[in-house]
Amino acid sequence: MTYCIGMLVREGLVMMADTRTNAGVDNISTYRKLRLYGNDGKRLIAVASAGSLSTTQGAIQRVTKGLAHPETGKYENWGTFQSIYDAAIAAGRALRQVRDSMQDLAQAGVNFDATLLVGGSINGEPSRLFLVYSAGNTIECAADTPYLQIGELKYGKPILDRALHYDTPLNAAVKLGLLSFDSTMRANLAVGLPIDLMVAEAGAGQARTNIRIEESDDYYLELSQLWQQKLAKATDELPLPSY
Amino acid sequence: MTYCIGMLVREGLVMMADTRTNAGVDNISTYRKLRLYGNDGKRLIAVASAGSLSTTQGAIQRVTKGLAHPETGKYENWGTFQSIYDAAIAAGRALRQVRDSMQDLAQAGVNFDATLLVGGSINGEPSRLFLVYSAGNTIECAADTPYLQIGELKYGKPILDRALHYDTPLNAAVKLGLLSFDSTMRANLAVGLPIDLMVAEAGAGQARTNIRIEESDDYYLELSQLWQQKLAKATDELPLPSY
């Protein structure tokens, strides 16, 4: 399992992914699921992945090697896309190709589904964020609900629904994202630290922050403890029912 | 969809179920999914159901009409079980029978799965609570994790994990249950008010509370608003990250 969040607020883009993969609870590994391409000031493409590791790795490899555009026939890769939209659509094609190539195994009950978040900015365009489904189709993040999730998304959704807005500052969005991860990691062992984090200002072709938050991260530990205390206090303070 | 919680704490048993059923988002109805049997001071059996409405109604009908015990051949129903364990096992047999009778349709991709919570106390036994799976097998609620959920359970699980303990008083458990419903109903339109609520003291053969919490319920409205305010304040007060 996996949990990834992309948040697109007025100030910019935040993307986060855990690093745990598992094939059963007795086969757990750490894999990077958030990758940056470009990140050179001109182009920033951030890709987070959830689902079958073989499918997401296969799809990302295909785009890295170059994928023929279905109309022009021209080969495109992470270094040549002219917009984040183009990158998302191409990643969708790659995902679909890998999935289709596994069709015979899928019929035997093996699940090769996978989803991606593709966000960033190319040549100064406004930052954009897309969710790419297994079938290759995409949806775009918009201001009314300024986040997208993939993977084990339900446990950590309520806090985002309640607290994240388009006008939330970037570092407050990072804080909310970590609270969302905290709830998820408590509920599902298949989502775990470390968490990869990318923060980019709106329209930026380079990430402001590109770090891995480890188990020993002081801020995360403090946040997690304080949040538990504050939630306990808040629930205690609420009035009791008469029934 | 549905959401039901059973909480078994030192002071007693709380069971809650929403009342929304749907076959697609354009076909929504209100159905009772929490039923009490006995409730006469001697025997209290509370049954909450999630999943295929035809399966759960079919299974409950079978137990109401009477189900032959596989070993003794004697017919048992809600009025004759000698323990909550017997009631849970019989409900599981009924669920399995209904599900098996639909096997040909299930192969066509229709989902007839359903789950039950069966809780209460018969003839003064300590209150017990079971989760009954489609296959007829059961698990029992115990003090380390003093709750069981069925249906749309993920959105409302974090608050229970964080705040509910075996020593939580009964009315505080009701409060936490309503907060868990609040998070779930915000996230999934297929779970909705009114909520049926049953509260029984430990070992009691009669419910202390057996009510329906409607959309206009003053306490629920206040709780939901205060919770939103307190969560916003708590998240605001948490320190911001430096990254």
How distant is the alpha carbon of residue B153 from its chain centre? 10
**Which residue reads 């909520």 in tokens?**
B195
The string of pLDDT tens digits covering residues B192-236 is 899 999 999 999 999 999 999 999 999 999 999 999 999 999 999
The topology under which CATH files domain A3-237 is Glutamine Phosphoribosylpyrophosphate, subunit 1, domain 1 (3.60.20)
CA distances, B225 to each of A229, B41, B230, B232 (Å)? 20, 37, 9, 11
CB distance B22 to B1 below 8 Å: yes
Of B183, B230, B232, the CB nearest to A237: B230
pLDDT in tens, A5-54: 999 999 999 999 999 888 777 788 888 999 999 999 999 999 999 999 88
3-class SS at B79?
coil
Tokens 């890709």, residue located = A47
Q: Which residues of A touch B (CB under 8 A)?
A: 154-155, 157-159, 161-163, 171-172, 174-176, 178-179, 183, 186-187, 197, 199, 209, 211, 213, 219, 222-223, 226-228, 230-235, 237-243
| Contact between residue B41 and residue B22 where contact means Cβ atoms under 8 Å apart | no
Strand extents, DSSP E, A141-235: 147-151, 195-201, 209-213
Q: Residues of A with CB below 8 A from B240's CB? A: 171-172, 174-175
> Could you tell me which of B163, B185, B52 has the C-alpha nearest to residue A158?
B185
Please list, residue by residue across A48-78, b when 16 or more beta carbons sit within 10 angstroms of its beta carbon and e when fewer do: bbbbbbebbebbbebbeeebeeeeeeeebeb
The shortest C-alpha distance from A175 to chain B (Å) reads 6
Distance, in Å, from the CA atom of A119 to the CA atom of A20, rounded to the nearest integer, reads 21
Could A243 and B159 be called an inter-chain contact, meaning their C-beta atoms sit closer than 8 Å? no
The pLDDT of residue A25 is 73
Given a cut of 80, whether residue B23 has pLDDT beyond it is: no
In contact, B79 and B38? CB cutoff 8 Å: yes
B chain contacts of residue A237, beta-carbon cutoff 8 Å: 230
Per-residue pLDDT 10s for chain A (243 aa) are 799 999 999 999 999 999 988 877 778 888 899 999 999 999 999 999 999 988 999 999 999 999 999 999 999 999 999 999 999 999 999 999 998 898 877 777 778 889 999 999 999 999 999 999 999 999 999 999 999 999 999 999 999 999 999 999 999 999 999 999 999 998 888 888 999 999 999 999 999 999 999 999 999 999 999 999 999 999 999 999 998
pLDDT, tens digit, 9 for 90 and up, residues B69-95:
999 999 999 999 999 999 999 999 999
Give the helix/strand (H/E) hosting A14. Answer: strand A12-18
Token pair in block for residue B191: 């779970």
Place of tokens 């757990």: A28
Report the distance separating Cα A77 and Cα B184, nearest Å.
41
Cα–Cα distance measured from residue B199 to residue B210, given in angstroms and rounded to the nearest whole number: 7
Q: Does residue A146 contact residue A8 with C-beta atoms inside 8 Å?
A: yes
Question: Which of B152, B164, B231, B237 is most worth mutating to test chain A (most A CB atoms within 10 A of its CB)?
Answer: B231
Closest-CA residue to B75 (of B59, B88, B64, B89): B64
ipTM of the complex: 0.88
Mutate to test the interface with B, among A14, A15, A162 (most CBs of B within 10 A): A162
Residue contacts between A and B (CB atoms, under 8 Å): 115
- Residue B131: band (very low, low, confident or very high) from pLDDT cuts 50, 70, 90: very high
Question: CA nearest A237 in B: which residue?
Answer: B230
CA distance A82 to chain B (A): 29
Q: Are A175 and A159 in contact (CB under 8 A)?
A: no
